[in-house]
Amino acid sequence: MSDNPLDTNFEKKHEFLIGIDSDGCAFDTMEIKHKECFIPNIINYFGLQAVSKYARECAEFVNLYSKSRGINRFPALTEALDWLEERPEVVRRKAKLPELKGLRDWIARESKLGNPALKAEVEKTNDPDLVLTLKWSEAVNATVDDMVHGVSPFPYLRESLEKLRPQADMIVCSATPNAALQKEWSEHDIEQFVDAICGQEAGKKNETLGQAKDFGYGEDKVLMIGDAPGDMKAARAVGALFYPINPGHEEASWERFLNESCGKFLSGEYAGAYEAKVVEEFEGYLPATPPWK
């Protein structure tokens, strides 16, 4: 059976299609997931105890406060290690960092960067880098499952979904594992508003959004809502429009969407100058260079 709900039970019912990212966009879960679940497990599994302060800063920069915000966990891990390796404090401490060549090679050739594909690769190759990465990734999921609950959707999200429901088909388009998405969207009774919940097992965001768009939506009728440059990149890759949820200003972004941007999208006035204005504002929030450079 497919891990992608678009293969099995999605159909076009409306003129418009909206893709919505989950972590940091629909739910205020980015901080708790990365600071309490991902990063402690990175330090523990990859032996970074001696440079834990710097490892934390690098991982937080990549996952929360940079243009890489929101990328898949496996490329995010290697990017954080690359920043860490460059830091003079780490060099002076002569800290030994894992190269993870096996993981880097797998990322380069695999399109569905999730635990199922990683597990299959481990069974096939028994590569030690991949074995360790799978243990880490499973530990992250277990920590998330144990710790992250009761985190409400951002204010104005539910009202936006209710407003869109009569006119648009909606899908969750996320790099989070399917099981976590199902849990979070059903816990807050908002899964009723979306037609499919597509996580990392369904493929990359541009693949998911593109597959849904291919059900027959016209130009300027598809919108991706997200809080990270990767969400915008996925939208651009398939010719969709993009609405940003600005990091640190999520509530205001959803309020503007509900009261202004949503209407502009449905009336055909979103593309062009209006989209350019909100995107320019969004890009100002996420630097490419870390504060320690």
Long-range contacts formed by 238-241: CB under 8 A, 24+ apart? 238/206, 238/209, 238/210, 238/213, 239/213, 240/19, 240/209, 240/213, 241/265, 241/270, 241/271, 241/275
Q: How far is CA 11 from the centre of its chain?
A: 24
- Final residue of a domain: which of 116, 147, 178? 147
Per the structure, how many domains does the chain have?
Answer: 2
Q: What is the pLDDT of residue 175?
A: 83
User: Same structural domain for residues 167 and 259?
Assistant: yes
In percent, the amount of the chain with pLDDT more than 90 equals 85
Q: Do 278 and 194 sit in the same domain of this protein? A: yes
Q: Do 23 and 103 share a structural domain?
A: no
- The residue segments making up the domain with residue 210 are 5-29+152-283
C-alpha to C-alpha distance for 103 and 89, rounded to whole angstroms: 25
Q: How many CB atoms lie within 10 A of CB 271?
A: 14
**Which has the minimum average pLDDT: 42-46, 97-101, 162-166, 284-288?**
284-288
Question: What is the reported pLDDT for 74?
Answer: 97
User: 241-244 and 168-173 as β-strands: parallel, antiparallel, unpaired?
Assistant: unpaired
The structure tokens listed for 140 are 């992250």
The three-class DSSP label of residue 116 is: helix
Provide the residue count of the chain. Answer: 293
Q: Is residue 1 predicted with pLDDT exceeding 50?
A: no
Alpha-helix runs per DSSP H in the chain: 30-32, 39-45, 52-64, 73-86, 88-92, 101-109, 115-125, 128-147, 157-164, 178-187, 205-213, 229-237, 250-256, 262-266, 273-283
Same domain assignment for residues 229 and 92: no
Q: Per-residue pLDDT averaged across 150-155, rounded?
A: 92
Residue 277 shares a structural domain with residue 161: yes
- 170 with 254, same domain: the answer is yes
Q: What pLDDT does residue 2 have? A: 59
Closest by CA position to 35, among listed 50, 52, 51: 52
151-to-26, 175, 184, 214 alpha-carbon distances in Å: 10, 18, 8, 33
CB atoms within 10 A of CB 18: 28
In tens, the pLDDT along 85-108 reads: 999 999 999 999 999 999 999 999
Check which CATH number belongs to the domain holding 177 and give it: 3.40.50.1000
Q: Quick one: 69 and 168 in the same domain?
A: no
Higher-confidence residue of 219 and 222: namely 222
**What sign has the CA pseudo-torsion 214, 191, 251, 229?**
negative
- Give the rounded distance of the alpha carbon of 139 from its chain centre: 19
Query: Does residue 292 sit within a domain?
Result: no
Query: To the nearest 10°, the Cα dihedral for 232, 143, 199, 263?
Result: -50
pLDDT (0 to 100) of residue 128:
97
**How high is the pLDDT of residue 201?**
82
pTM for the whole structure: 0.82
pLDDT computed for residue 176 by the predictor: 86
What is the spatial distance between Cα 180 and Cα 196, in angstroms, rounded to a whole number? 14
